A and B are shown apart, each in its own frame.
Chain A
Amino acid sequence: MGMEGIGARVARKEDKRFLTGKGRYTDDMIVPGMKFAYFVRSPHAHARITGIDVSAAKAMPGVIDVLDGKQLQADGIGNLICGWMIHSKDGSPMKMGAWRPLAVDTVRYVGDAVAIVVADTAAEARDAAEAVVVDYDELPAVTTSLAALGEGAPQIHPEAPGNLIFDWQIGDGAATDAAIASAAHVTEIEIHNNRLSPNPMEPRATLGIYDSAEDHFTCYTTSQNPHVARLVMSAFYNVAPENKLRVIAPDVGGGFGSKIYIYPEEIVCLWASKKTGVPVKWTSDRTEAFLTDAHGRDHVSKVKMAFDKDHRIIGLKVDTIANLGAYMSLFSSAVPTYLYATLLSGQYAIPAIHANVRTVYTNTVPVDAYRGAGRPEATYLLERTMETAARELGISPAELRRKNFIRSFPYQTPVIMNYDAGDYEASLSAAMQAADWDGFPARRAQSEARGKKRGIGMSCYIEACGIAPSQAVGSLGAGVGLWESAEVRVNAVGTIEVLTGSHSHGQGHETTFAQLVADRLGVPIASVNIVHGDTDKVQMGMGTYGSRSGAVGMSAIVKALDKVEMKAKKIAAHLMEADESDIVIENGELKVAGTDKSLPWFQVALAAYTAHNLPAGMEPGLKEGAFYDPSNFTFPAGCYIAEVEVDPETGKTEILQFVAADDFGNIINPLIVEGQVHGGLAQGIGQALLEEVRYDEATGQILTASYMDYAMPRADDLPSFTLSHQNTPCPGNPLGIKGCGEAGAIGSPPALINAITDAIGINDLTMPATPLKVWSALQGSSMRMAAE
């Protein structure tokens, strides 16, 4: 592997700037003449706008202008779109209501943007926003998916009668029903997946700059995919043609999905910059983030899992309702369908699966992908069901899983996915050993002696990463291809720039991508720079989400490196008068195999640029680009085990140990991969124990709009984690990478809830398992016991 190559535990190159306060995030950008924006937002969950009076606001100190949705519409700026078409089972297309960047006649959630105020300072803009008078006729609101589908529910979009966006299905319904009818045992359970706010620590921000001399726009923004932002703003929102719009996503302080989408603020600040003639910067505060950043999850499902007499699963039937909020966000339709139901086979051989998914509008923040996006929902559903079944059948949870594991590959599931490689038994065994599963009864007895309730729980997850083969997703309704691009530029002095369409917002690409180059060429990572996040520098790319940067983004770099190497070898062969096929690249040199003849890398690079002596007909220069389109998804998988102690007096859960055994395929940098797992686990544990977005059902007001009300995991809510890897290389891409970004968030919630329900001996418990909920459950059971 070499000291800095693939597999080396290299400390990150990018750290120094972050550690010394030299990171450059969007809100750090200062340009001459820059002014500040504040958005006037709806205080109501659902209302008709009957008038907007901006005259008082315009007269406030420092105010440059106040602009509303009618002006935006008059200028031809388009509505926000959902980029993935889903058809209902009756063949009709999904029913997308209009989402205007600034609401014109109706507001549909608390936080819906109505107008923008531009002023000299952020404080002045905020003050003036208070003076904008918007007249509202309040309408009844609905916040839960079940209520939105109910008889007489408030109608949110005229395009979607009954608030139903689509009613979609996958799998074989008849075969599944037959399996259930013939089953020796059927486990039935209702599963709630709680609504979450992603909460990257950097709030969203954007700086729109219009240059009237060039008729050109620049947009700094907190984006995971600046190229997609440019494409969508240009092709659909009519902001500017692509050649007149530069999007830059500089250092971005975390995304977790929430910074994939193009939000109203980016569009409106660009437009407002042209209207006012000044650069316009907007930075979200945390409350605004809770009010407007896309939320995640929010599923309610009914499950039936059928077993034969040998405890083999013979059928799985799932009926899910997904809350998509007030508008359809960019990928919102794909999350509860192709990113969710296609993973319902889990790690198990299930001959018949059928899932029905209904998505609904409610008067809440739009819901879209959040770390894992659909796959955590599938895993939580399956693994809670498996645990419940094991309890009902009276067999150990490990045995039930082992009995049903898929053991030969490739494996075609009944729900589209074709698993290419895996070894589920290996992760299960490793996790059980690391957790000392067999020693648990003794530990439980010790806890009992101290008046505590101890429990242990597992979860076996699979996810689909490396998103995604373009043709396949195109046939399923995606509006874009999901390949990645790369360009490798070798400078005349031999140093290297790699341009990538992936975007790093914490993942460490500047290090791992350089490690790949170091591995191939034997040059130090210090001589390799990674360029990303700017549409003027990198031609096109699809960005970073779905653990795609390694499996897809790095594969594109491999392809470009192949071409660079081929040309460098030709030049070296020519210069050393050797046969091209005898040239090998090692330790920063091009050598003639079996001889002592060699040329250092930089000399070959220099020769490419002096062009004094190149093979006949060869173009000067050493720079190659490539696009890589994956042939399949990748399938990371693993087994997680949580051991907890519940204090029956308070209902508080303490995590005593958390074991994660993962198969990520080949690993470029274990230090970084472990960090990704830690972060994912914290978010998954947050979902299981602490986090939930809550609304007041009567008024549609969000109740959890600050860190006082929304419980983020803190350092002393979490244990140190025990990690291990059982890697089966992915056969689908040149580096054998599967991806690791989401695993922690996918596998951990069911392991924890399985552990807590094991501890308290009550299976019926919803996330987040707060002390109050656990305590109440225990009170309920002791009351029941007393009554019996």
Chain B
Amino acid sequence: MAKVTLTVNGRTMSGECDDRTLLVHFIREKLGLTGTHVGCDTTQCGACVVHMDGRSVKSCSILAVQASGSTVTTIEGIAAQGELHPVQAAFNQHHGLQCGFCTPGMVMTAVDMIARHGGALDEATVRHELEGNICRCTGYHNIVKAVLSANEEMHGAARQAAE
């Protein structure tokens, strides 16, 4: 048994778990945050993506004990109270989700992608960077549209503010 302490979505939380417990299971089962999903057992589907110390990671590919001491943001933590994050809003507006199972991972990946590229995103880049996130419902068409639109919204707004 190990004790794991994490700052999750702004709150410090700790819990006991097996040494072998994956971060995704710790988040889902010990912390009760079930928005982060498990879609595979070979770290390929991306349903489990969270942000750890500001970088997107597949929470099924890391042990909870390895993550101890870090700051984690999950899908439950990216929107301001009662409002959608621009990426979430764009997924809604462009119908970038159907069954919703891949969606938390997609959104977390997209938020990270948009931040890293500083506004310079095109369709080919988005498709390439979604390599690690599988969606079986949408054919990706509307996910790509949503990511590009959120990128425009966020960086367009930043540009306007700078002017």
Contact = CB atoms under 8 A, between A and B. Distances in A.
A30 B32 CA distance: 9
B95 A21 contact: no
B139 A19 contact: no
Nearest to B74: A21
Interface string A192-211: 00000001111100000000
Given A20-B76, A21-B76, A707-B42, A721 B130 contact: no
Interface string B87-131: 010011101011111111001000000000000000110111011
A287 B136 contact: no
Interface in B23-37: 28, 32-37
Interface string B135-146: 111111111110
A111 to B, nearest CB: 15
B75 interface: yes
A287 B33 CA distance: 24
B90 to A, nearest CB: 10
Given A19-B92, A254-B101, A715 B41 contact: no
Given A18-B100, A254-B137, A715 B95 contact: no
Contacts of B124: 716
A3 interface: no
Contacts of A683: 136, 139
Nearest to A505: B99
Contacts of A674: 95, 142
Nearest to A10: B95
Contacts of B144: 715, 720
A19 B107 contact: yes
Contacts of A681: 139
Contact of B84 (A20, A24, A200, A256): A20
Given A12-B92, A201-B136, A712-B134, A18 B97 contact: yes
Given A11-B93, A675-B95, 10 more contacts: A11-B92, A20-B75, A121-B18, A287-B41, A675-B142, A678-B141, A706-B41, A707-B42, A713-B139, A716-B130
B80 to A, nearest CB: 11
A201 B141 contact: no
20 contacts: A15-B100, A16-B92, A19-B97, A20-B35, A21-B104, A121-B18, A123-B20, A201-B136, A254-B98, A254-B136, A285-B40, A506-B100, A674-B142, A675-B98, A682-B136, A682-B139, A683-B139, A715-B131, A715-B144, A720-B145
A25 B47 CA distance: 13
A679 B42 contact: no
A252 B36 CA distance: 15
B41 to A, nearest CB: 5
Contact of A16 (B44, B84, B126, B142): B84
A612 interface: no
A19 B88 contact: yes
Nearest to A289: B40
Among B18, B38, B138, B141, the most chain A Cβ lie within 10 Å of the Cβ of B141
B158 interface: no
A599 interface: no
Given A21-B75, A203-B39, A707-B42, A506 B98 contact: yes
A28 interface: yes
B148 to A, nearest CB: 11
B99 A720 contact: no
A343 interface: no
B2 interface: no
B38 to A, nearest CB: 8
Interface centre among B41, B79, B123 (most CB of A within 10 A): B41
A714 B95 contact: no
B142 A678 contact: yes
Name the 4 nearest CB pairs between A and B, nearest first: A21-B35, A18-B100, A253-B101, A506-B99
B4 interface: no
Contacts of A28: 28, 34
B1 to A, nearest CB: 12
A306 interface: no
Contacts of A23: 35, 100-101, 103
A678 B139 contact: yes
A643 interface: no
A508 interface: yes
Residue of B33, B99, B102, B141 with highest tally of chain A CB at under 10 A: B99
Nearest to A203: B39
A708 B44 contact: yes
Nearest to A13: B92
A350 to B, nearest CB: 32
B28 to A, nearest CB: 8
Contacts of A199: 136
B133 to A, nearest CB: 8
Nearest to A681: B139
Contact of B47 (A14, A201, A283, A744): A201
Contact of B127 (A201, A706, A715): A715
A675 B98 CA distance: 8
Contacts of A180: none
B138 A679 contact: yes
A251 interface: yes
A189 to B, nearest CB: 29
Contacts of B136: 199-201, 254, 256, 679, 682-683, 712
A253 B18 CA distance: 28
B64 interface: no
A784 interface: no
Contacts of A203: 38-39
Nearest to A723: B141
Given A16-B92, A254-B101, A706-B42, A123 B74 contact: no
B57 interface: no
Given A11-B95, A123-B20, A201-B101, A682 B41 contact: no
Interface in A235-276: 251-254, 256
A49 interface: no
A585 interface: no
B40 A286 contact: yes
Contact of A286 (B42, B93, B98, B127): B42
A526 interface: no
Contact of A707 (B36, B44, B100, B140): B44
B72 interface: no
B65 interface: no
Contact of A682 (B42, B91, B140): B140
Contacts of B97: 15, 18-19
Contact of B40 (A14, A20, A251, A707): A707
B27 to A, nearest CB: 10
Contacts of B21: 123
B84 A201 contact: no
Interface string A658-671: 00000000000001
A22 interface: yes
B8 interface: no
A507 interface: yes
A27 B128 CA distance: 30
B45 interface: yes
A389 interface: no
A142 interface: no
B138 A708 contact: no
A202 B39 contact: yes
B127 A716 contact: yes
Nearest to A202: B101
A179 B7 CA distance: 75
A8 interface: no
B30 to A, nearest CB: 11
Contacts of B107: 19
Contact of A720 (B18, B44, B88, B123): B123
Contacts of B75: 19-21
A681 B137 CA distance: 10
B139 A707 contact: no
Interface string A670-688: 0110110011111100000
B42 A708 contact: yes
A718 interface: yes
